Amino acid sequence: MRDSKNLNFSNRFIELGPEFYQAKTPDPVTDPYLVDFSPSTAKLIDLAPEENSTQGFIGRFSGNMPLEGAQPLAMAYSGHQFGSYNPRLGDGRGLLLGEVKNKKQEIWDIHLKGAGPTRFARGFDGRATLQSSIREHLASEALNGLGVPTTRSLAIIGIRELIYRQKPEMAAILVRVADSHIRFGSFEFFHYTGQPKNVQRLLEFSIQCHYPEIAEESDRYRIFFQRTLQRTAKMIAKWQAVGFIHGVMNTDNMCITGTTFDYGPYGFMDRFVANHTPNHSDTQRRYAYSQQSEIGFWNLNKLAETLVSLVGAEPLQEEMRQYQTLFNRFYREEMAKKMGLAILDSEFTQCVQGMFQLLQEHQLDYSNFFRFLADYPGNPQMANGAINNAKDELNSWLSQYLKLTQREDLNHEERKTQMDAINPKYILRSHLVQNALDKALKESDFSEIERLRILLENPFQDQPEIFEHYGIDADSYAQDTPDSFLCQQTSCSA
């Protein structure tokens, strides 16, 4: 393990030249302090977990002290936002510090979000709010705990500065760790500004960094798109399975490695409402839960448009035609695991359709329904009042489901073990997030952030030691979302 002074940064992206970025150092900040630190993320870059208590770590990642070898830069990109092209985007407040290679020879980007305005800031202050930083920090670690590809959050560093959104808010810097920061919108920027050579240069760079095994293939550009499409379909299938709603699936928020990227007004499904969007600005429900697969297709099509001159329209269209089949396959596989089933035939399809009709009609709690299902029929006790109210329809559907389980080569205990290992007991419910935010923003108490992060790193098990350590009620973290927080919406303000 190493300290933050000896991370041995490099930055391959800087070799692309100034058309691709603005070189800039982070702006100094006032009296930085640590809000939370993720030891599991620190392991990715071989950073000693005790670094979180050092002033050196806080100083270096707040921008007040230099990071040896780092070459900070703000990346150029554009993108389609809510279906309309916006040419004026880019890292307005973010800086890619560089890359760090760990002992496994894995390379990770380290990025500061909220490090001060760049030339892409469009008149904004270049800072991030403490509230939005806490939300992204928790969501990143929660999705990772659920096995969904995601950027990670190493730390939140608070700043004793007020910034203004709808109201005055405290500022912070989020230290993000990711396998890539190249977005669909990175390609769009050069495509729509008439720079085809830079589209090709970015494509070659992306292949060398993220798909080196295809670098010598004659049709590597097509394979690159194929791989990006496959990873994107798999990521969204996992979102759907765990009940995650991104909320702002603009093309500048889509990463070429199929990694969940840029958390804004996200949400996790509580009571099942298929057309729910957690983004209160999304009045047309473009980015609702039920639309995420379709929007993934739409965004990939926008990426494909930037590559037509290099790959050809027909090969790209042929790859696009594979998307729905791939997504359906990935999604069926995820749902089969959640239901403890392995035979994916027409009866399985009918059973899944019937389950979602039941969930939607009675707005049952999505995650807790699967934990209930894992207990059935060994523990047929109704899990809560909502399920009890749907008892007649539920029993009818359960009889269909039990017939499918009887075709499998598993007894009840084996099935329950498998299902409990894939269906979380704890998810990042809106009221849990709000409780952590209230303590942090009103009382400067960050203990609930730490508690939630630790809990959600392994959301499938009871983890009694956590609750014993903190002296809190375990069951309260697994209960259905209170009515006042159901289908909550938040803004893009950050």
Name the token pair of 398: 């359960």
Unique residue bearing structure tokens 């900070």: 72
Between CA 475 and CA 406 the distance in angstroms is 31
Residues 6+ apart with CB under 8 A from 465: none
Secondary structure of residue 181 in the 3-state scheme = coil
Q: Where are the alpha helices (DSSP H) in 169-219?
A: 184-192, 196-210
**Neighbour-count burial of 458, counting CB atoms closer than 10 A to its CB (0-12 exposed, 13-18 middle, 19+ buried):** middle
Between CA 384 and CA 369 the distance in angstroms is 10
Between CA 56 and CA 65 the distance in angstroms is 8
482: DSSP letter:
P
- Cα–Cα distances (Å) from 44 to 89, 100, 103, 278, 463, in that order, read 30, 9, 9, 30, 23
Q: Which of 46, 252, 282, 420 is catalytic?
A: 252
Between CA 202 and CA 297 the distance in angstroms is 22
- Residues 204/216, Cβ–Cβ less than 8 Å: no
Q: Is the dihedral of CA 254, 260, 266, 267 positive or negative?
A: positive
252 annotated active-site: yes
Residue-by-residue DSSP string for 49-93: GGGGG-HHHHHHHHTSSPPTT---EEEP--EEETTEEES--S-SS
- Cα–Cα distances (Å) from 119 to 124, 222, 236, 478, in that order, read 10, 33, 33, 45
Catalytic residues: 252
